């Protein structure tokens, strides 16, 4: 009886072994069969548009579930294995972008693995990535930055530009100051603001103590403020009202080192005159008793057309406060930029004797007319640039267009706007 069952079991064992569906196989010396995983085929390594990067592609063999990728720099014996392994996912072809530590020639190897961890023979290829990033290709949709009264905010690797153009405010985003993408959505929509016309001169600030962005702007010849948690908006007025009840335009926020916020803006007191007031901590209202006059148009270069001082921008260097401003009517070809200094954010302000520092007859203007109502901004390397608008041409004021020049402080504290202007464009 025992021998009968033993023979039956032995027969079943050999039957199952002979009907195994695992393929392919090969014989060893002791006649045991082992599984062989096929090698990947058509392995290609190509450089991409990014430096030190290779795009790998290959055909997956049957039964392979993952690929082990490794690379070795030419002239070394240090092999580096990529983790995690690349999954085949049942596809007949796979690809992988291999990011390498530096520019060199590499031997890249791919090994196929089945569900049991069994490996194929390696297949290798030698390739060299690009040494530098390829130039970015842009589709230009407008050969200018079509905003007036421009302002630029730099935040987390991007530049954000705001200005006067539509009902409400657009935002343009750039990484290099030359190519700007217009956001699909308005940064500020009229329905989120007091007022419904004459949206002018927006400026956006990130206030670290509040972890929030604030947009100060003019609407219907009043000044207003809205806030957002993102620089591209949407900016919303929590309470739809102007900052002050009287007519006013052209706001600029300055927060001093002691944390005191000041709002500079234009009041219509015998022309366009720049004033300053301390703000309350909520940044939506001022302390009226602190109102102080700063700059009025009195010098010959300031009064070519109108009695107008506007577009203030305040910054501090050392113990000196600088107030940059524009003078003349914006329709004048002699619209120009000057500045004044003080030892207090409230003045008294002393105008620079070499004013104006930007006008149509100066090298930085490069033939542009009506240059003004701009704003300085800091670049990632700690330098300064100045964005401003100019007339459409010698014979036409609009549509006004924005330009960007270098700006610096000399050793003796003099502001200079110089260099060849960047002519920004809008891209898709």
DSSP bridge pairs for 317: 320
pLDDT at 6: 41
Task: State percent of the chain over pLDDT 90.
Answer: 88
With beta carbons less than 8 A apart as the criterion, state whether 170 and 183 touch.
Answer: yes
pLDDT at 5: 41
Q: What is the band of 35 on the pLDDT scale with cuts at 50, 70, 90?
A: low
d(CA 400, CA 331): 10
d(CA 295, CA 269): 11
pLDDT at 1: 44
d(CA 281, CA 292): 19
d(CA 298, CA 301): 9
376-400 pLDDT per residue, tens: 999 999 999 999 999 999 999 999 9
pLDDT at 247: 98
Sheet of 200-207, strands arranged across: 200-207, 212-219, 222-228
CA 153 remoteness from chain centre: 9
Q: What is the band of 29 on the pLDDT scale with cuts at 50, 70, 90?
A: very low
Task: Classify each residue of 77-87 as buried b or exposed e, where b means 16 or more C-beta atoms within 10 Å of its C-beta.
Answer: eeeeebeeebe
With beta carbons less than 8 A apart as the criterion, state whether 51 and 130 touch.
Answer: yes
Tell whether the model's pLDDT for residue 27 goes beyond 60. Answer: no
Picking from 221, 214, 204, the residue whose alpha carbon sits closest to that of residue 163 is 204
Mean per-residue pLDDT, 222-226 = 98
Tell whether the model's pLDDT for residue 273 goes beyond 80. Answer: yes
d(CA 379, CA 198): 30
Task: State percent of the chain over pLDDT 70.
Answer: 92
With beta carbons less than 8 A apart as the criterion, state whether 284 and 239 touch.
Answer: yes
Picking from 284, 333, 292, the residue whose alpha carbon sits closest to that of residue 312 is 292
With beta carbons less than 8 A apart as the criterion, state whether 227 and 213 touch.
Answer: yes
Picking from 108, 105, 80, the residue whose alpha carbon sits closest to that of residue 95 is 108
Cis ω before 348 (30° cut-off from 0): yes
pLDDT at 233: 97
Q: What share of the chain is helix, strand, coil (3-state, %, to 5)?
A: 5, 45, 45
167: helix, coil or strand?
Answer: coil
DSSP bridge pairs for 151: 162
- To 5 degrees, how large is the angle CA 147–CA 395–CA 142? 35
Q: Which two tokens stand for residue 330?
A: 């914006």
89: helix, coil or strand?
Answer: coil
Q: What is the band of 89 on the pLDDT scale with cuts at 50, 70, 90?
A: confident
d(CA 45, CA 58): 9
53-68 pLDDT per residue, tens: 999 999 999 989 999 9
302-320 pLDDT per residue, tens: 999 999 999 999 999 999 9
Residue with the larger pLDDT of the pair 86 and 31: 86
Max Cα-Cα span within the chain: 126
pLDDT at 33: 52
pLDDT at 7: 38
């Amino acid at each position: 009886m025992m021998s009968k069952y033993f023979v039956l079991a032995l027969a079943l064992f050999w039957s199952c072994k002979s009907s195994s569906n695992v393929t392919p196989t090969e014989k060893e010396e002791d006649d045991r069969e082992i599984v062989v995983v096929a090698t990947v085929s058509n392995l290609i390594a190509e450089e991409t548009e990014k430096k030190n990067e290779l795009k790998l592609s290959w055909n997956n063999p049957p039964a392979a579930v993952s690929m082990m990728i490794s690379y070795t720099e030419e002239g070394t014996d240090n092999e580096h294995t990529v983790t995690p392994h690349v999954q085949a996912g049942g596809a007949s072809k796979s690809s992988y972008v291999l990011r390498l530590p530096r520019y060199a020639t590499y031997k890249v190897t791919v090994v196929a693995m089945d569900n049991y961890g069994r490996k194929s023979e390696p297949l290798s290829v030698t390739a060299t990535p690009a040494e530098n990033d390829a130039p970015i290709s842009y589709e230009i949709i407008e050969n200018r930055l079509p905003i007036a009264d421009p302002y630029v905010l730099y935040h987390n690797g991007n530049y954000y530009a705001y200005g006067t153009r539509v009902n409400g405010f657009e935002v343009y985003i750039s990484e290099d100051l030359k190519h700007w993408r217009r956001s699909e959505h308005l940064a500020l929509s009229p329905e989120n603001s007091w007022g419904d016309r004459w949206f002018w001169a927006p400026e956006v600030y990130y206030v670290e103590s509040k972890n929030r962005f604030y947009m100060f702007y003019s609407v219907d010849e009043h000044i207003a403020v809205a806030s957002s948690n993102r620089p591209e908006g949407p900016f919303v007025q929590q309470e739809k009202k102007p900052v002050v009840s009287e007519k006013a335009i052209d706001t600029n926020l300055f927060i001093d080192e002691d944390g005191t916020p000041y709002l500079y803006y234009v009041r219509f007191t015998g022309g366009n005159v720049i004033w300053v007031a301390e703000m309350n901590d909520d940044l939506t209202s001022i302390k009226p008793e602190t109102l102080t006059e700063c700059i009025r148009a009195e010098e010959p270069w300031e009064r070519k057309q109108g009695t107008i001082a506007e577009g203030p921008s305040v910054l501090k260097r050392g113990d000196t406060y600088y107030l940059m401003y524009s003078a003349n009517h914006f329709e004048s070809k002699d619209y120009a930029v000057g500045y004044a200094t003080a030892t207090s954010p409230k003045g008294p302000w002393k105008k620079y004797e070499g004013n104006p520092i930007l006008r149509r007859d100066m090298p930085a203007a490069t033939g542009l007319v009506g240059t003004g109502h701009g704003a300085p901004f800091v670049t990632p390397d700690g330098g300064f640039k100045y964005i401003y608008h100019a007339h459409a041409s010698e014979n036409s004021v609009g549509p006004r267009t924005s330009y960007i020049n270098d700006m610096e402080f000399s050793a003796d504290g003099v502001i200079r706007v110089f260099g060849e202007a960047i002519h920004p464009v809008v891209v898709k």
